[in-house]
Amino acid sequence: TQLLEQSPQFLSIQEGENLTVYCNSSSVFSSLQWYRQEPGEGPVLLVTVVTGGEVKKLKRLTFQFGDARKDSSLHITAAQPGDTGLYLCRTGFQKLVFGTGTRLLVSP
Amino acid sequence: DAGVIQSPRHEVTEMGQEVTLRCKPISGHNSLFWYRQTMMRGLELLIYFNNNVPIDDSGMPEDRFSAKMPNASFSTLKIQPSEPRDSAVYFCASSQTGIRTGELFFGEGSRLTVL
């Protein structure tokens, strides 16, 4: 049973579009991290959220932690080709698992 | 600054052969993780060490897999005998702070192909 479900699995958009990806679980998280992985490389941390309702911004990326700390979202404004990659959420709960991932392709 | 260093980057071997993957964590980091990534199963935690001691190896698929961390600067993941279903990218990651909230720093991975 996958602890963290991410949606959508795949997303292909044009440059300049906005998008939101989600990370959901039936369990409460003590903390949650978002990583981005580019082809041929390991994941790189984007942000850590620890407080229910917390919102963090990283340039065009906005991260939100659900009030109940069971879900999180990542919103990208005006996506660029450089945003292409696999987006992964990770929790420290139980087995320190990563989510199923959202593969994003942004075309020029 | 040197990041997490993994070797080899690519390994092609035949079924039944022994495979050893190596990892050098970032100096000063006290936690080390081995992950396996496939398209079907995503990124799976195999085992993690804290201060060179294995804390949880329940993700290790079976007895064919073993991992060691003889000192703070080196870890190995061994598969013996290897099988085609072991084909995947194996990542090593290290962390400096608490296991639950610390940032993971990943190596570039070792791509294993078992024929």
Find the residue in A nearest to B3 (Cα).
Answer: A42
Q: What are phi and psi of B84, to 5 degrees?
A: -55, -35
Answer yes or no: is pLDDT of A93 > 60. no
Contact of B88 with A18, CB cutoff 8 Å: no
Instruction: Identify all chain A residues contacting B43, using CB atoms and an 8 Å cutoff.
Output: 43, 88, 98, 101
Mean pLDDT of chain B: 93
Output the six-digit token pair for A77.
């404004």
Contact of B82 with B17, CB cutoff 8 Å: yes
Contact of B103 with A48, CB cutoff 8 Å: yes
pLDDT tens digits for range B51-77:
999 988 988 988 999 999 999 999 999
Tell me if A48 and B56 make a contact (CB, 8 A cut-off).
no
Tell me if A42 and B48 make a contact (CB, 8 A cut-off).
no
Gap between the Cα atoms of A96 and B42, Å rounded: 14
* Cα torsion B50, B54, B58, B59: sign: positive
**What's the pLDDT score for residue A24?**
93
Contact of B107 with B23, CB cutoff 8 Å: yes
pLDDT tens digits for range A20-61:
999 998 888 888 899 999 999 999 999 999 888 999 999 999
Chain A to chain B, count of Cβ pairs less than 8 Å apart?
Answer: 53
User: Could you give the dihedral angle defined by the CA atoms of residues B99, B100, B103 and B109, in that order, rounded to the nearest 10 degrees?
Assistant: 70
Per-residue confidence at B100, pLDDT binned at 50, 70, 90? Answer: low
**What's the pLDDT score for residue A61?**
97
Using the Cβ of A15 and the Cβ atoms of chain B, whether some distance falls under 8 Å is answered with: no
Gap between the Cα atoms of B14 and B37, Å rounded: 20
Residue linked to tokens 């992950």: B35
